[in-house]
Amino acid sequence: MTRNDFIKKIHVLKRDLSLDDDTYRLVLYNVTEKTSCCHLDEERLNLVYLAFKKMLDNQGVSGPVRKNPNQHRFIARLMDHLKWNWDNTADFCFKITGKRSTKSCNPAELSKIIRGMVAVIDHDIALGKIQLNHTQRFEYERAVKHHRPIKENAI
């Protein structure tokens, strides 16, 4: 494995472990006495990789929920269309999953929330409660991969 391959894999493990930058650098320092991968040779990068891999293996099923920033960003965009604040979204999340926050949801639960929000938006568009211009409509349809067009009279 090349040096760049090690660095990529280390950063993937960092993301999988949901480590913030300070914790990541602390682990690096504990393993190699350096705070950045760019100062490490392949042998030390391998040690760091193995340390992160062991941390992930020890985490097991009882570890924290894996964060999915793409789904959270998408939920925020849907909130904008619905003109919901985080309280409205938390209430919707509780109705769908029984959890008080999207931060505590796993990816499958986040997908349920997204599908539910898309259904609410589609319903509101059909009723004329939400009006999208052509740019917003194109972005929305592309984002949710509609298989059916939105009715023209709703816009």
- Burial of residue 53, with CB atoms counted within 10 A of its CB: 0-12 exposed, 13-18 middle, 19 or more buried: middle
Domain boundaries, the chain: 3-59, 69-154
Q: What is the pTM of this model?
A: 0.51
pLDDT tens for the 155 residues of the chain, in order: 888 998 999 988 888 777 888 888 888 888 888 889 888 999 999 999 998 888 877 765 344 445 678 888 888 888 888 889 988 998 999 898 888 888 878 888 888 898 889 889 888 888 888 888 888 787 777 777 644 444 544 44
**Long-range Cβ pairs for the range 111-114 (8 Å, 24+):** 111/71, 113/75, 114/71, 114/74, 114/75, 114/78
pLDDT of residue 92: 92
Q: How far is CA 41 from CA 33, 34, 38, 46, 112, in A?
A: 13, 11, 8, 9, 44
